[in-house]
Structure 1
Amino acid sequence: MRIAIVINTSWNIFNFRMNLAKALMQAGHEVVAIAPQDAYSQRLVEAGMQFVPVQMENKGTNPVKDLLLIKQFYQIYKTVKPDVILQYTIKPNIYGTLAAKLAGIPVINNVSGLGTVFIVKNLVSKVALGLYKFAFQFPAKVFFQNRDDQELFLEHSLVKREITEVLPGSGVDTVRFIPAESFARNPDFRFLMIARVLYEKGIVEYVEAAKELKKKYPQIRVQLLGAFDEAGNIGVKRSVFEDWIKGGELEYLGTSDDVAAVIAKADCVVLPSYREGTPKTLLEAAAMGKPIVTTNVPGCKETVVDAQNGYLCEVRSGADLARKMEQVLQLSDAELQAMGHASRQLALDKFDEKHVINRYLQTINDITTLKH
């Protein structure tokens, strides 16, 4: 069978869907990656996939461009002729679904977080809800990454319950992401946040917490790994960000293709996000046996059993984030190690990507059997 994977960046396929693509190829399927061209597109080809570029703006909401995107998807789907299409991120989920309906090809959508659509209530979010409602009449299956997102879609009558199912995020490769052989706490205790530099990721609260903690514990390091993004009004302005770094509160690590190596050096991984699907970075941190501090919001709260493998903090509260980070800081070595063990166990029991891959293989099989 020919299976298309459609996402808003090639980087996303390479970093988050690679093992699913490999499992599909191992099962004898042909895999076609459809995404905008970027530095990772060639790596998808090297991994054995076909690559078809699509021109798509991640953030734009221009109706003319969006209608042209439906046309573009339709032409690609008619040319590639996949047996089934796996779609992720908002634009493929909406416009790709409409194109696939016109082309007569079944789709499986994955709602991997609701972005600003449900965080900010405005005209754009109203339009997005209307588009979801129209497009989501047509998928064969819609996977959600947490129960809150699923319930929200059902509450707004955006999708029929019987085609929905909750998966544990995109899962985590528990063979690749493993704890260090021996436990060692850094003398300069290191907190690490992995996220794009966006307000909705809780970056302001992280900086506030860093300022607070560094007054009492000047030796600690509060680090950030992630791409700089000034897109729209959701990215932090470079001048503001540079002031934070100059102030010494935040240590910026840039970006990395080897996130595991960066996580390995941290004592605790922090994500004060306002809402997520299920954050891959926290799953990777858990698999590597790291304590986690994150917000008590949909997507994030699933990754922490409070006081067992980390702490949940209030959303949009730098003060509460600082309190929870301080609690981790004050743990004894034995307690810190126990928290790390609990994280690893949670990753194995609940988030191992084998569960996710098996559900995809089974669903593809069910859909294509029905189709024939």
Structure 2
Amino acid sequence: MKAVLFANTDWYLYNFRRSLALSLRRAGYDVLLISPEGSYGSKLRDMGLRWEPLPMQRRSLNLLRELALLWYLVRLLRRERPTIVHGFTIKCAVYGSLAARIAGIPARVNAVAGMGYVFTSTQWKARLLRPIVSGLLRLALGGKGARLILQNADDVELFKRAGLVDPRHIRLIRGSGVDCEKFARVSAKTLDGERPRVLLACRLLWDKGVDEYVTAARRLRKHGRAIDALLAGTSDPGNPAAIPESTVQRWVEEGAITWLGHVDDMTSLLASVHVVVLPSYREGLPRSLVEAAACGLPLITTDVPGCREVVSDGMDGLLIPVKDSDALASAIQRLQNDPLLAHRLGHAARIKARTQFDERIVIQRTMDVYAELCHPLKQSATNTQARRLSH
């Protein structure tokens, strides 16, 4: 059997789906990874994985260019004849599924991590595209041979209410998976008497709550709270919500934050901080929080879809209202004032990460979806047996 994994960046494939690709290969699949050209394609190839670049521009609205991309995908799939096509993010879900239907590929899986710019932004361009993208999603995600993987319960309900896909074809799999054993080797730093090192690790997008983070850091310093506010990540020029690098540089020059840029070794970075925050406006299921949780670090995040899947307020982290820099500053101050609370939350977060978000769990559930489509008779028998055992 052959599986094609399609994402909008090779960075995404390398950082979020290489473990899935390697697991599929060990299970006997011939795996092809496709994405726009990038520097991570060679890293995937160095791991023995097959990767091909696509002539795809993420922000393109040129109809002829987009039709050319769709036809390119159709020809690629007709050449490869995969058993299953698995698309990640909304654009790849639409294009990959449409191309697969045209090429006659029987099984289509799409993983949508969050609703994306078109559905979350209030900009006129997003509002204009929303009904068009909704229609394309209904067309692309339909059919008996299609399954939609969503990462949080809120998105499941949203897709059901919007009528974008047959509810029977939705599968809830929380996140893309994290190697919790690797991060569990980190000994979380305690806040006892130390100057707090607070970290926000994300793509530099406005809707990740970066501005609220900077404002919270300013407020804490104004009130005499000495903290090191760290920001890890780079701008994403392919996303309309990208923060200009010049803006980040101004924050650095002001002394509000320390900008680390892109960080490959997240394990070492997480071992050096006391608290991890993510004041995002909406997520699928944020990997940065799960990695921090696996390290036993206390978490502060917003009470929004995706984030509240990882954090239960007061149990394994703190939840704050969205777009509320004052609440973020108060939460950081609360952990600084109460090291025992910070330790308790971090310990609970580590347990939750290992039992719910470990990559072995996510990969197995994803492969179960593949089996459901590729081996329907075998899967039906397995489901029947499971129902008998449950009675």
Please state which band the TM-score falls in when normalised by the shorter chain: over 0.9
Preserved contact between residue 85 and residue 96 of structure 2 (Cα < 8 Å): no
Deviation for aligned residue 1:184 = 3.8
Q: Distance in 1 between the 2:71 and 2:309 partners? A: 38
Question: Is 1:12 equivalent to 2:12 in the alignment?
Answer: yes
Q: Aligned pair in 2 of structure 1 residues 100, 205: CA closer, same or farther (>3 Å)?
A: same
Could you list the runs of 4 or more consecutive aligned residues of structure 1 that deviate by over 6 angstroms after TM superposition?
A: none
2:291 is aligned with 1:258? no
Is the Cα contact below 8 Å between 1:230 and 1:238 reproduced in 2? Answer: no
Shift of 1:266: 1.2
Partner of 1:58: 58
Distance in 2 (CA, whole Å) between partners of 1:325 and 1:93 is 38
Q: Is the 8 A contact 2:179 2:358 kept in 1?
A: yes
- Unaligned 5+ segments in structure 1 are none
RMSD of the TM alignment (CA)?
1.8
8 Å Cα contact 2:296-2:346 kept in structure 1: yes
SS in 2 for 1:77: helix
Task: Check conservation: 1:74, 1:99, Cα contact below 8 A.
Answer: yes
| Cα drift, residue 117 of structure 1 | 2.0
Gaps of 5+ in 2: 379-391
Cα distance in 1 for residues equivalent to 2:188 and 2:275: 16
Deviation at 1:33, TM superposition (A): 0.7
In structure 2, the partner of 1:241 is 248
In structure 1, what is the equivalent of residue 231 of structure 2?
224
Q: What is the rounded CA distance, in whole Å, between the counterparts of 2:157 and 2:61 in structure 1?
A: 25
Contact 1:179–1:289, Cα closer than 8 Å, also in 2: no
- Larger mean Cα displacement after TM superposition, 178-187 or 347-356: 178-187
Match of residue 145 from structure 1 = 151
CA distance in 2, matches of 1:68, 1:36: 14
Q: 1:245 to 1:148 in 2, by over 3 A?
A: same
Residue 166 of structure 1 deviates from its aligned partner by 0.7
Within 5 Å, which residues of 2 pair with 1:69-218? 69-105=69-105, 106-121=107-122, 122-138=127-143, 140-181=146-187, 183-185=189-191, 187-218=194-225
Q: Could you tell me which amino acid in structure 2 is paired with residue 110 of structure 1? A: A
Match for residue 282 of structure 1?
289
In structure 2, distance between residues paired with 1:136 and 1:31: 22
Count of residue pairs brought into register by the alignment:
371
8 A Cα contact 1:183 1:337, kept in partner: no
Q: Aligned equivalents of 1:22 and 1:57: distance in 2?
A: 27
For normalisation by structure 1, the TM-score amounts to 0.95
Name the SS for the 1:298 alignment partner.
coil
CA deviations on 1:93-127 (whole Å, 9 max, x unpaired) are: 00110000011111111011111222225102222
Change (3 A) 1:90 1:306: same
Whether the 8 Å contact between 1:44 and 1:51 is mirrored in structure 2 is yes
Aligned counterpart, 2:388: none
**Which has a greater percent of helix?**
2
Distance 1:61 1:225 in 2: 30
Residues 1:40 and 1:233: Cα distance change in structure 2 (over 3 Å): closer
Report whether the alignment pairs 1:31 with 2:31: yes
Go from structure 1 to structure 2 and tell me whether the alpha carbon gap of 1:235 and 1:293 turns closer, same or farther (over 3 Å shift): same
When residues 258 and 182 of structure 1 are mapped into structure 2, their CA distance, relative to the original with a 3 A threshold, is closer
Structure 1 pair 232–33 and aligned structure 2 pair: CA distance change class (3 A): closer
Give the TM-score taking structure 2 as reference length. 0.90
Q: Take 1:270 and 1:83, find their aligned partners in 2: how far apart are those partners?
A: 41
Letter in 2 for 1:96: G
**Using the alignment, how far apart are the partners of 2:292 and 2:184 within structure 1?**
9
Q: 1:321 to 1:181 in 2, by over 3 A?
A: closer
Is structure 2 residue 352 aligned with structure 1 residue 351? Answer: no
Amino acid in structure 2 at the alignment position of 1:109: N
Task: Indicate the percent of aligned positions where both proteins have the same amino acid.
Answer: 35
The code of the aligned residue for 2:22 comes to: K
Q: Secondary structure at the match of 2:120?
A: coil
Question: Take 2:186 and 2:370, find their aligned partners in 1: how far apart are those partners?
Answer: 36
Distance 1:182 1:367 in 2: 42
Return 179-188 or 219-228, whichever deviates more.
Answer: 179-188
Once the two structures are overlaid, the 10-residue window that deviates more, 52-61 or 77-86, is: 52-61
Distance 2:73 2:338 in 1: 52
Q: Counterpart in 1 of 2:47?
A: 47
Deviations 1:180-214 (A, max 9, x none): 34754472201100111111111111111010111
Are the aligned partners of 1:30 and 1:49 in contact in 2 as well (CA < 8 Å)? no
In 1: Cα distance, 2:368 partner to 2:239 partner: 39
* 1:233 Cα deviation from its structure 2 partner: 4.3
